[in-house]
């Protein structure tokens, strides 16, 4: 499984409220390769904040996905702006005190946070149900 790892060595030992900014520029694999192509770069900024239960991520990322028009099947390049928050919790044997929340599915392992599952989930949520190449698309003629 490919990953998108952020090293958070400094943040793990930091007090609650301390934050760090990370610039992201990477190619990621598609969360749904049959329907969505994400050959393009994902880029932007992630702000990670140390909170009691782990890390809170403020994501502000841009990418472009390739879909097929629901009517004429023509390819569409759709710019996507991912702006969301996601909490990360520790996994593994020795989390810092209080910093383990079993309800959080996105995890930190040692001093690394893999943000890829979260980013892919958010891309899936951004995909329109019926993408159209243009509003008046007449379908296949």
Residues lying near Zn ion in the complex (CB under 5 A): 69, 71-72, 74, 133, 137
124 vs 67: CA distance, rounded Å: 12
The two structure tokens encoding residue 88: 């990360």
- Report the DSSP pairing between strands 19-27 and 5-7: unpaired
Please give the backbone phi and psi of residue 119, each rounded to the nearest 5 degrees, phi first.
Answer: -65, -40
Question: DSSP code of 40?
Answer: S
Shortest reach from residue 50's CB to Zn ion, in Å: 47
91 vs 84: CA distance, rounded Å: 22
Identify which of residues 76 and 119 has a Cβ nearer to Zn ion in the complex: 76
Identify which of residues 27 and 74 has a Cβ nearer to Zn ion in the complex: 74
Handedness of CA 30, 38, 118, 8 (dihedral sign): positive
Identify which of residues 58 and 68 has a Cβ nearer to Zn ion in the complex: 68
Identify which of residues 18 and 73 has a Cβ nearer to Zn ion in the complex: 73
């Amino acid at each position: 499984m490919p990953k998108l790892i952020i090293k958070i060595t400094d943040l793990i030992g930091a007090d609650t409220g301390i934050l760090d900014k990370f610039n992201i520029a990477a190619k990621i694999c598609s969360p749904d390769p049959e329907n969505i192509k994400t050959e393009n770069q994902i880029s932007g900024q992630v702000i990670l904040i140390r909170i009691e239960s782990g890390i809170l991520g403020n994501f502000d990322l841009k990418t472009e996905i390739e879909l097929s028009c629901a009517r004429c099947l023509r390819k569409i390049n759709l710019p996507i702006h991912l702006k969301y928050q996601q909490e990360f919790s520790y996994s593994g044997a020795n989390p810092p005190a209080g910093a383990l929340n079993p309800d959080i599915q996105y995890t930190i392992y040692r001093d690394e946070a893999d943000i890829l599952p979260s980013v892919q989930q958010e891309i899936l949520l951004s995909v329109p149900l019926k993408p159209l190449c243009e509003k008046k698309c007449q379908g296949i003629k």
